[in-house]
Structures are given as C-alpha cells and as structure tokens.
Amino acid sequence: MPYEAVTRSIRITVEPFYIAGPEDGRWSFAYTVAIRNEGDAEVRLMSRHWRVVDGRGHLVEHRGEGVVGEQPVLPPGGGFTYTSGVRLPTASGFMTGAYQMLGADGLWFDAVIPAFALDAPSPCRSVN
C-alpha cells in the first residue's frame, strides 16, 4: 500500500514491504521512496530526518545528509527514487519524517514524508 504526502509541490510516495524475521530478534523491512517535483522551480534534497517507532512505542530518530549517499537535484517535473531498509525489535512499527529541501530561490523548507506502517505477516505478530 503506497503512502503519499505533498509539500510545496514536492510529492513523496512511500511503498513499504516486509523482508524477514525474526532473525537475531529483529524484523527486517524495506521501503521505496519516490520523490517528484511537481513545481516549476528546481529543488535540492539536502538532508533527512526520520522518526522510527517500534511496536512498543520506542522512538529512534535518524538525521543525516542527503539520501543513500546523494543530495539529488530535482528539476521541474523531475524525480528521484531509492530503496532503503530498517530493522525493528518488534513485528510492527511505523516511520515518518521530513526531507530538508533547498529551493532555487535560496529558501529552505521541510518536505513531509508520510507516516507509513511496517507490519510483518500475521504469524509473526508477537511484540515480545
């Protein structure tokens, strides 16, 4: 199920999927993020801020430059897609966050990453 948010003409779509678990007491998930510039001016993705919450409500935050080692420039109508992953100590959780974008006008803004669920198939549902 894709999750979507639009901020200042930047459309972010996330498609999460279950990988495996539990392995070493952790469940593995991946997610594909598609970022599309639907505006009429270039933007650059400068950094990210993720909030990851496991099935027990434990929050872990991650901040860093760019995504997957890049700070992509998105021209009008352009996009960038990547896949990454996360491991949780529970069979479910969710993620949300924001990308810090720099517009061609020199102004910074946060593009919202929609909250999305991370859920293992039913037989693995125990939270421990």
Q: How much of the chain exceeds pLDDT 90, in percent? A: 93
pLDDT in tens, 71-83: 999 999 999 999 9
Tokens (6 digits) for 119: 């859920």
Q: What is the pTM of this model?
A: 0.92
* Higher-confidence position of 122 and 57: 57
Can you name the CATH fold of 3-119? Immunoglobulin-like (2.60.40)
What is the average pLDDT across 78-97?
Answer: 98
Find where tokens 């505006």 sit: 39
pLDDT at residue 38 greater than cutoff 60? yes
What is the average pLDDT across 113-118?
Answer: 98
pLDDT at residue 127 greater than cutoff 80? no
pLDDT at residue 9 greater than cutoff 50? yes
pLDDT in the model for residue 128: 52
pLDDT at residue 33 greater than cutoff 80? yes
pLDDT in the model for residue 123: 63
